[in-house]
Every structure is written in structure tokens, then in C-alpha cells.
A and B are shown apart, each in its own frame.
Chain A
Amino acid sequence: MMTKKKDMLRALALITGALLVIGFVLWQNGTLPLVGYEAIIVVCFPICVICLFLWWMAREHGEDIPFIGY
């Protein structure tokens, strides 16, 4: 279960990362306007970063209730 989730996160990080690279290449080619490339970054960069972090973070515990002061 846990590894499955990690795999999914890694896949998502890779996909969005690949999209960022593809966007960069197309922009350098001149096929994609700058605005399009920026739109790709705005959507993909947060997802890529968070998924990457969630993938490489330490072992996961069960969820807990919020901090309530003691």
C-alpha cells in the first residue's frame, strides 16, 4: 500500500517534470509562446515539487489530530 502510493507520487513528479522539460524545449524551438511555457510552469511546478518532496520524505506514520496545546 505504502510503496504503491510512493510509486504514484514518483510517477506524478516525473510526469510533471517531463512536462516542464518539454515546455522548455518547445519554447526554445519557438513552437510554444512564452506565455504557454509560463502557464505550464505555473501548473506543473507546484505539483512536481510537492510530489518530489512527498516521494523522498521519511517514512509515513498514520494520521493524527491537530496540535491542541499539550
Chain B
Amino acid sequence: MIGYLLFAVVFGLLLLGIHRKVIARIQRRPGPPVWQEILHMLKFSFKSTWIPATASNILFVGVVLVAIGIWSAALFVLLAGGSILIIFGIYMLHKIVEHGFGLSSGSPYGKFGGVRSVISAASEIPLFVSVAVVALYTQSLEISSIVQYQAIHGPLLFIVPLAAIAMYIVILSKMPFGPFSIVESKELVSGYKTEHFGVWRAGLEICNGLKTYVLMFMFITVFIGGIPIWWMLAGMILLTVSLSFACAFSPMLSPFDSVTVQMLITGVMLGYAAVLGVIA
């Protein structure tokens, strides 16, 4: 279990490295090596670290622990084939982690990042519509039942393509450099993570690796089905590359516009869910 957890961290960071590399190549830069994010995590862990003088100490340290803890829990729920609702709960609560990172230091840049993450909370809602659409077909939100359903009826990707697109957008909004990643845009220095340097950032990198692994794994499991681990890893790399293309070819939206676009997508999805509900 702990071995798998560490593997997930490393592989998730590798995916983020591939993401950076692909974006760089699209923009005709050489880009960092693909294992750059793993090296980052190790490098940060050796750096001199302290808690800023103005920070709210317990919260400052506590959110790092919470961030790693919740995503480990999400990984275990995913592996056990538990309820998809729990994973989405954790996904939503990652917002709170971002707020905690941003607000606890007292830094104005962190504050901006935190406030933006509040603004973008509205972007999490397309997710629930896609969950509702999935539930409409499979009559269950247990991942194991969804996998069973797909073993009989074929991948949900072809049955409910729009729900898959909504979920894809949700994952896109959590990828760095994407059109919806307003919480860490360049004018905010590093957004919510500005003041979490050194060891704290290393902890955040672990959380990011886990988060990427869990989200990609979940997308493939929910919309394609249970496949052998090697195929799963290959699929995750493919998904990452497609996300990198989406990120590289789209500009970052302004904060409120990003939310409006996502709300409009939610509206479309609601209509889609209603139509499917009437048909089914």
C-alpha cells in the first residue's frame, strides 16, 4: 500500500514533467527534462525552511499535512473501488487546501491566490453534473459497479461523451498552465504557494503528484473501464499529452471569465442531463 502510494507520487510527478515538456516543445522551447518535477520535490526537501514571521503557524503547517492526507485517502478509495462521491468530495476540498496555503502566510500574493481559488470554486460544479449523468446510466456511484457496467455495455466514453468532456474540463482546470488555472497565474508570483517554500513546497509537490495520478486514474476508470495497469499507465500518459495540447493552445482566461465559461458549460451539461433523463 505504502509502496503503491510512493509509486503514485513519483508517477504523478512524472506526468506533470511530461506536461511541462510537451508544452515546451509545442512552444519551440527545449523545456526541462521529464523528471524535472521529481527532482524539484527532492530539491525542495533539502532547502532551508522556516515559517514566515507573520504566518498563522498551525494552519500554515497543518494544511500541508491535510493536503497529502486527503489525496492519499482519495487514492485508497479509488483502489478499493469505493464511492466516486468521496473522491469528488476530496477534489472539492482541495479548494480548502488552496485557501489554507494562500491565506495562512499573510502574504498579499498568497492572499490573491486564495481569493482566486474561492472565485474558481464555481468551476467544480460541472463535475457533479457529469457524476449525475454517469449515475443515471450505472445506477450506482461505486467505482467497482461502474467498472462492471462498462465490462458489459462498453466504455462510458462512447455512451455519454459530453459527460466525459465535462470531466475532462474539470481535470484541465486543475492542470498547471491551463486556460482555467487562474489560481496560479504569473501575475500572482506563484499564487497560493508563494509563501510555502522549501520543505512545505516539497510536501505540496507530493500532494500534486498524488492529485494528478488520482484524477487521471479516475477519468480512465470511470469512462473507459478497468484495464490492466500497464495500459492504465500508458492511457494516463496519453491523457496528459492531450491535456498539454489543450493547455498550450489556449490562453489563460481572466478570472471571472473563466468562471463564466465554466458555468455556461455547466448549463449545457444540465440540459444534456435533463434530455438524457427524459429519454432514459
* Complex-state Cα separation, A14 to B220, whole angstroms: 37
* Complex-state Cα separation, A42 to B55, whole angstroms: 26
Write the chain B residue with the least CB distance to A68: B108
A67 contacts B189, C-beta separation under 8 Å? yes
Flag whether B50 is at the interface (Cβ < 8 A). yes
B65 contacts A66, C-beta separation under 8 Å? no
Which residues A24-70 have CB closer than 8 A to chain B?
24, 27, 34, 37-38, 41-43, 45-47, 49-50, 53-54, 56-69
Contact among B51, B68, B106, B108 with A49 in the assembled complex (CB-CB below 8 Å): B68
A66 contacts B106, C-beta separation under 8 Å? yes
* Complex-state Cα separation, A54 to B200, whole angstroms: 9
Pairs A–B under 8 Å by Cβ, sample size 22:
A24-B2, A38-B1, A38-B73, A41-B2, A41-B76, A42-B73, A42-B76, A46-B66, A46-B67, A46-B72, A50-B203, A57-B46, A63-B52, A63-B53, A64-B50, A66-B105, A66-B108, A66-B195, A67-B195, A68-B108, A69-B109, A69-B189
B52 contacts A24, C-beta separation under 8 Å? no
Known pairs A41-B72, A57-B47. 20 more at Cβ < 8 A? A24-B1, A37-B1, A38-B1, A38-B73, A42-B69, A43-B69, A45-B5, A46-B66, A46-B67, A46-B69, A49-B68, A53-B199, A57-B49, A63-B51, A63-B53, A65-B52, A66-B52, A66-B105, A66-B106, A67-B109
What band does the interface of chain A fall in when counting residues whose beta carbon is under 8 Å from B?
20 to 34
What band does the interface of chain B fall in when counting residues whose beta carbon is under 8 Å from A?
35 or more
Chain A residues engaging chain B, CB cutoff 8 angstroms = 20, 24, 27, 34, 37-38, 41-43, 45-47, 49-50, 53-54, 56-69
Interface residues of B: mostly helix, strand, loop or mixed? helix
Shortest CB-to-CB span from A22 to chain B, Å, is: 12
* Complex-state Cα separation, A63 to B49, whole angstroms: 9
Shortest CB-to-CB span from B256 to chain A, Å, is: 24
* Complex-state Cα separation, A38 to B55, whole angstroms: 32
Instruction: Give chain A residues whose Cβ lies under 8 Å from the Cβ of B5.
Output: 41, 45
